[in-house]
Structure 1
Amino acid sequence: MFRGTHRHSLDSKGRLNIPARFRDWLSAHCDGQLVVTIDVQNQENERCLVAYPLPHWETVEQAIAALPSTNATARRFQRLFVGHSEELRLDSQSRILLSPNLRRFAGLEKDLVLVGQIHKFEIWDAARWDACQESWLADADDFAALGDLVL
């Protein structure tokens, strides 16, 4: 399970050190293998990357493969979501190398925020995360529409 918000920095080669809590889970459950892709569900000003442990990605990929190939929306989604996916493995120093293509999509420069999302985690540019978080908190009344969550 991926929980919490963690601030990290990219090094000059585009490598990201994975937080200890995340890397411990990744090492124990999937030999440090994960898939990183773009988050196609966010608005342009909310662009980020999404990282899935390989076993969870395989389940997501099966669901995507089951989408009807005759549906234009499904094909666009597959092209973007699967087409940008990259299989990565933690290196000996618990880092992953984010490609220039992924970094460019999410506007990742130096300071990043990793946000746990239970079965996956998001990778955000820190300034973009801070701005979005403030906006979401200002609209917190919208959360009432989610119904009776047990909090």
Structure 2
Amino acid sequence: MFRGLHTINLDAKGRLAIPTKHRDALAALCGGRLVATIDTEEHCLLIYPVNEWEPIQAQIEALPSFNPAARRIQRLLIGHATDLELDGSGRILVPPSLREYAGLEKEAVLLGQGKKLELWSKSQWDNRRDAYLDMVSQPDQLPAEMLSLSL
């Protein structure tokens, strides 16, 4: 559903306009209700339509709470999960704690990832993208399944 890369700006209050093509899909899919949380592997945010997030949260909640690794994931993902809603102008307000985690300032990148969007600081995304491109040129860095794809 979500694909493509969009360079966007955050205003002084931490609001960003969702691109029109995604806005329409979000309105139809979830009434503009979203959930944002941190990515535990990268300093970016994961933004899900609420209907996509709820089954993920249920799976995370079902993890054994006495397992320290599972408990860490529960605390990080569910603890940072924040409900967002598209306003009448198609914007969302990203809370200060999430903006701080992702290093978001004025320039940002919204990256489509199928059922979710990723929100990156533009400078962090540019650095990560360049590192990923360096890895792609090394076949031993690719999952075996990728080697059989024909593009």
Q: Structure 2 length as normaliser, TM-score?
A: 0.93
State how 1:1-151 maps to structure 2 within 5 Å.
1-42=1-42, 47-140=43-136, 141=138, 142-143=141-142, 145-147=144-146, 148-149=148-149, 151=151
Aligned equivalents of 1:58, 1:64: Cα separation in 2: 10
State percent identity of aligned pairs: 48
Deviation string, structure 1 residues 104-149 (Cα, Å, up to 9, x no partner): 0000000000000000010000011011101110110222533423
Deviation of 1:21 after TM superposition, in Å, equals: 1.6
Q: Secondary structure at the match of 1:128?
A: helix
- Root mean square deviation of aligned Cα: 1.1
Aligned equivalents of 2:101, 2:84: Cα separation in 1: 17
Aligned equivalents of 2:36, 2:143: Cα separation in 1: 32
One-letter amino acid of the counterpart of residue 146, structure 1: E
One-letter amino acid of the counterpart of residue 61, structure 1: Q
Alignment size in residue pairs: 147
Change (3 A) 1:84 1:137: same
Q: Secondary structure at the match of 2:142?
A: helix
Gaps spanning 5+ residues in structure 2: where? Answer: none
Deviation string, structure 1 residues 41-75 (Cα, Å, up to 9, x no partner): 23xxxx10000000000010111111111111101
Aligned equivalents of 2:149, 2:41: Cα separation in 1: 23
Q: Which runs of 4+ in 1 moved over 2 A?
A: 143-151
Aligned equivalents of 1:150, 1:53: Cα separation in 2: 31
Aligned equivalents of 1:51, 1:29: Cα separation in 2: 14
